[in-house]
Structure 1
Amino acid sequence: MKPFMVLALCCSFFCSKATPLPSEFSDCDDPDVFKAVDAALKKYNGERATGNQFALYVVMEAERTAGPDAQFYVKYRIFETSCAVEENTPWQHCSYKPSAEAKTGECIARVHMNDAEKTSNVSQDCKISSDVSKVRVIQAPCLGCYHPLSTDSSQVSEILERAIQNFNKRSTEAALFKLVEIKEARRQVVAGWNYKIIYEIEETNCSKDQFPDLTPECRVTSRG
């Protein structure tokens, strides 16, 4: 009995020292969260032998665990579409069934993403219901189309900052240009995000010889 007791005590000691990896809540609009949900939903649809595919309705909660590979805990709702599982149509291209006929569901998934090997490991539990009395589809969106996005969005600002930096770096103009107005921003949901942004830039008083990048001193000139 003694060797067994020593082994058990050692196991208890080492297990008590183990600490879980820290985690943090993620924005449900984060492209990495979308990839995790996409992997989970593809797995769920792929395991269905008959019936219709389900499409994402809304991401309710997302949490990411720190580590060498992306690990996510996601809670999301799904809505039955008109695409049969046998068609193998990407769920993003499927239209929701009329709410009076459609089934809905809520899924909780843990997704381990390995970007280097482009693989994912999904464990999840989905509960499907035929009672849609509490589900109200506010809009029947075209899932593969571009939809308006606020021009005040931080995502738009970050994209334009990089775009203007790239323009100033590659252009043959002697002066730096800066953003004047964002006229329109639209976003498309695919396996990630695509953006269409219409904006206006004008020439500043900062020459490339003296300024490697835009600073608060750079102001639009009358020649812009």
Structure 2
Amino acid sequence: MGDNISKINESNLKEIPNTTNGIIRSRTIRNSQGEVIDHRIVDVSGDFQNITGLDCKEIIGQSYKDIFEDPPVLDIFKQLEYGKNSEKFEGYSVQFNKHLEIFSFSVGEDEYVTIFKDTSQLHLFLRKKDELEKEITSRLRQQSALSEISQLSLSNVSLKEIFQKTAEILVQALHVDYSKILRLVPQKHQFIMEAGVGWKDPDKKKKKKKILSLTVLNHRQVTPYFLKSL
């Protein structure tokens, strides 16, 4: 890090080897009373243009207020006006539609360097990793539920107990509020509830509940039906 700062101090930013980081150098502008009134961009690295899409030639000499739009980025320069030697921001930039790490620090009297690092790919990777972990956990939970239901069918408990326990397992495995097992009576063209979970909840009319599991039983087959949230 020290070598990089030395290079920033001693050379034109365009001469710095490719670091995948965008770098700008700014200088504070003071009024006759010595008060800081602005920051002007005095030098820009080529990678800054690659990261932000801003033309390096056009922004040199401009105020940071005319270049940046995101409040957190503007606040970095604002804090430097109050005499802070360094400031850091990490988050999503609406202006550039990217996740950025931004670090600004002093390199001399009234001169600052600000480094922009694009972390969008890292955030994408972490999001995909999180989604994959949730998917794997969900599948393992469902496989465990199927195994538990299979073990029930081999036990000595009554069929009614198997139905009720199955309804309870489904509620936990699928993260839903209601589960019901119905038996079809063909002669009467109606269903009879054999087991269920959540249907006697006194608050069921007040809340929006998830119903995901509904099994219809008849004398020939067992058919599962899945309903989306009501």
Pair in the same fold by TM > 0.5: no
Q: Which has the higher contact order (CA 8 A, sep 6+)?
A: 1
Q: Comparing both structures, which one devotes a greater share of its residues to strand?
A: 1
More helix by share: 2
Structure possessing the higher radius of gyration over alpha carbons: 2
Q: Normalization by structure 1: what TM-score?
A: 0.22
